[in-house]
Amino acid sequence: MRYRLGCDIGGTFTDFVLLDDLTGEIITAKCLTTPYDPSDAVEEGIKRLKGMNPDYIESLDEIIHGTTLVINAIIERKGAKTGLITTKGFRDVLEIGREIRYAPYDIFAEFPEPLVPRRYRIEVDERIRSDGTILKPLSEEETRRAIEELLSLGVESVAVCLINSYANPVHEFMIKGLLEKMAPQVDVSISYEVLPQIKEYERTSTTVTNAYVKPLTGRYLSRLKGRLESTGFKGKLFIMLSSGGITSVETAARFPVRIIESGPTAAVIAGQYYGRKFNIPDMFCFDMGGTTAKSCLIQHGEASVVPTFEVGRIQRFMKGSGLTIQVPVVDLMEIGAGGGSIAKVSKMGTLQVGPESSGADPGPICYGKGGKEPCVTDADLLLGYLDENYFLGGEMKLDPVSARKGVEERIAEPLGVSFIQATWGIHDLINETMAAAAKTHIAEKGGNPKIVTIVAFGGAGPVHAYGLAKKLGARRLLIPPNAGVGSAMGFFTAPRAFDLLRSMKAPLGIVSFSEIEGIFKELEGESAKILNREGSAEGLIYERSLDMRFVGQGSEINVPISNIPFTDFRREDIRKLFDGMYMKLYGRTYPDSEVEFINIKVRAILPVRLLDLPKIKGKEGCSVDEAKKGVREAYSHIAQRFIPFTVYDRYRLYPGMSFPGPAVIEEKESTLVIGEDGFVSVDEYGFLWVEIE
C-alpha cells in the first residue's frame, strides 16, 4: 500500500495529487468540478490518474479529501429543513445573538436569516442551573408533543440546545433518545456533543449549523464512499478538518460543522510545512483558485487556529454580519476573488470585479462553455499571461477571440476606455482587492507585509502573485512544484487530529486543580476513542490549553499549558502564564484583578506521515536556454505596454538555474508571471524563488 491520494474539490476545479511514498514520485490531475454531484468529478479524476498509472488503485492506502460542499450549502441555503428544540424562553436566541449591531450608524444594516425559521423552533419547559443541578425536570409527554409538532412540519434534521446543558446534558440525551425512537429517519445534533461550551448564542448557532448540513453531508460522503469502492479502492478515506487536521468519514458525517473550511485550510497547512522546511519566519500563504482567494499569515512556522469564525456574511469585511460558528478553524482570510470572478460595470459607472463568480459552469468566456460575462481568466489570457493552447497542459483550449469580444462589449465600450485599459483594469483591480484584504489581515496579526515571503498556490495564484507582491511591497515569492494543486498537496502534511473542550467557569483562586485534571483526562479519553476508530492510535500526542479571562470580562484568551498533571501546577504558575499571554496580546495586564477559567481544551494528534519532498536531479551541462519555449508578447505594468516575455517550461528547469524577468513559467496546472524587476532561481527541490527589486 504505497500510494496516497489527495483530492480537493474547489468551486471551479477539482484537484488530484497521487503520491508514491516509496519513491516520492508525484502525479497530478485537474478536472472541472461538477456542482450537482461533486463525486462525479472525483471519479473522473481517479480514472484519469489510472490512465497515467494503471495499477495504483490496488496499492492505494488512503484518500484524503477536502470539500467546499458544507460552506456552499450554508451560503446558498441548500441544507436540510431543520428544527430546533430549546428551553422555554430561548426560542429567539438566533435572532438576538449578542445584541451587537455590526454597523451602528447604518439604519439599513441587514443580518443573515437564521438557518431555522421561527416556526420550526419549539420550546420545552425545563431548566438546569449553571452548576448542573436540575431546577425543573423535563416532561416526557411535553417532549413527545414537541417532536410530533416538528415532524408534522416535515423536518429532516433536529438540533437540540438547552440552557446550561454543557454543565448537565441529561435532558438533551432524553430528547435525543425520544427522537431516535419516534423518528429514526431524522438526523439529530445535540449541543453537548457538538459544542459543550458556555455562551448560549454561539452554542445554539453552531449546533443548528451542524444539524442543517448533516443530512446533506452524510448523503454525499456515503455516495462518495460507494463511488470510490466501485473504482476498486479498498483503503481508508479521510476528510480535512477546518482546524488543519484530518479525520475519518464517520466523524466528519457526525460533525460536518467541523469541515466547513475543509478545502481552503489544506493550502495553509502546506505553506506551514514549507515555511518550517526552509526556515522562513514570516510567510504569507496565498491560494487563488477559480472562485475565491484564500490567504493566511504564518508566523514562526505556525498558522494560528481561532475558536470562532463567521460564514455567509451580509457585508464581506464586516465582523458580526454573518452566522457565528464556534469550532476550531485555521485563521485564514477568504474573499470572492478568483479566475472566474466576473467583471462588470457597477451602478456607479465604475469597474467592479467579483465577488460573483462564473464557477465551473459556464465558467469564463474563454472556456467556450457558454459564459457571457468577462472574467479574470479572460483578462489574463488577453494580457498574454496564459497560453491558449497550453491551459491545463493543453487539455483545454481557450478562446481569446470570444474573450476579447466580451471585454470590449461589456467593459471597454460602456466605460469609454480602450480595450487594453479595460483588460489591464480587470487584472489590476482584482490584485488591488486582494492586496487591501491582505494588508488588513497581516496588520491584525501584527505582521509587516514588506518582510513576508509570499508562497502562492492555486491555478490563478502564481499568475497574480507578482502583482500582489508589488502592491504589498513584499520582496520575495516562493512557488512550489505543482502549485496549481497546492491544497491537495497540503493534505499530505496534515496530522490526524481532533479538538474537544468542556466549559468550567470557576475562579483561579478557589478551583480544584484535581477536578480540572479529571476533565483533561476525560477529554483525552474521548479524543483517543475518536481517533482509534480511524485506525491505530499509537503515538497519540495531547496538547492542553485553557480559555481564561479576568472576572467580569465577556471574552477570554487561550493559554497553552504543558502536558503534565495539572495538580503539579501552582496557582501562581497558571497566573503567570495567563499574564504573559495577556501582555503579549494587549501590551498590559492587571495583576490585582482576579482571573477565572472558562473552557478546558484538548487537542489529540497522531504523528504525521510527512511528505518527503524528492530532490530534482539536474542534467550535466544543461543551460537555462534549453528550458525556453519561446517568446510571447505580454503586458508589462512597468512599461505600460506589451513587451516580449520569455516563456519557460517549468519541467525543464533544474537546480542552480536562474534568469531575470520578464518571464512566464508554464506548468500544467498553473502559470507564473514575473515582471522586469524580478529574478528567478531554482533550488534542489524544484521550488522557484523570486526576488523582486
In tens, the pLDDT along 196-214 reads: 888 899 999 999 999 999 9
pLDDT in tens, 45-103: 888 888 888 888 888 888 888 887 788 788 778 889 999 999 999 999 999 888 888 78
pTM: 0.81
My answer on whether 98 and 44 are in the same domain is no
Q: Does residue 315 register a pLDDT over 80? A: no
Q: Does residue 535 register a pLDDT over 80? A: no
Residue 390 within a domain: yes
My answer on whether 88 and 201 are in the same domain is yes
What are the distances in angstroms from CA 305 to CA 80, 225, 285, 444, 546? Answer: 29, 30, 15, 14, 14
My answer on whether 237 and 155 are in the same domain is no
My answer on whether 389 and 421 are in the same domain is yes
Assign 663 a pLDDT band (cuts: 50, 70, 90): very high
Q: Which domain holds residue 177?
A: 81-209
Give the residue from 259, 289, 322 where a domain finishes: 259
Q: Does residue 475 register a pLDDT over 90? A: yes
Residue 357 within a domain: yes
My answer on whether 380 and 400 are in the same domain is yes
Mean pLDDT of 362-387: 92
Strands 351-357 and 341-345 turn out to be antiparallel
Residue 254 within a domain: yes
pLDDT of residue 379: 95
My answer on whether 157 and 234 are in the same domain is no
Q: Does residue 276 register a pLDDT over 80? A: yes
Contact 85, 159 (CB under 8 A): yes
Residue 295 within a domain: no
The number of folded domains in the chain is 5
My answer on whether 10 and 99 are in the same domain is no
Cell of 475: 520582496
pLDDT of residue 38: 82
Coil, strand, or helix at residue 404? helix
DSSP secondary structure string for all residues of 589-648: --TTS-EEEEEEEEEEEPPP----PPPPPPPTT--GGGGEEEEEEEEETTTTEEEEEEEE
Q: Which stretch of 94-103, 385-394, 409-418 has the lowest confidence by average pLDDT?
A: 94-103
Q: Does residue 621 register a pLDDT over 70? A: no
Coil, strand, or helix at residue 122? strand
pLDDT of residue 508: 93
Residue 280 within a domain: no
Residue 127 within a domain: yes
Residue 322 within a domain: no
My answer on whether 199 and 121 are in the same domain is yes
Give the residue from 428, 463, 481 where a domain finishes: 428
My answer on whether 68 and 97 are in the same domain is no
My answer on whether 599 and 632 are in the same domain is no
Cell of 588: 498590559
My answer on whether 109 and 196 are in the same domain is yes
Residue 282 within a domain: no
pLDDT in tens, 332-367: 877 777 888 899 998 888 998 877 878 767 889 999
My answer on whether 104 and 190 are in the same domain is yes
Mean pLDDT of 292-307: 84
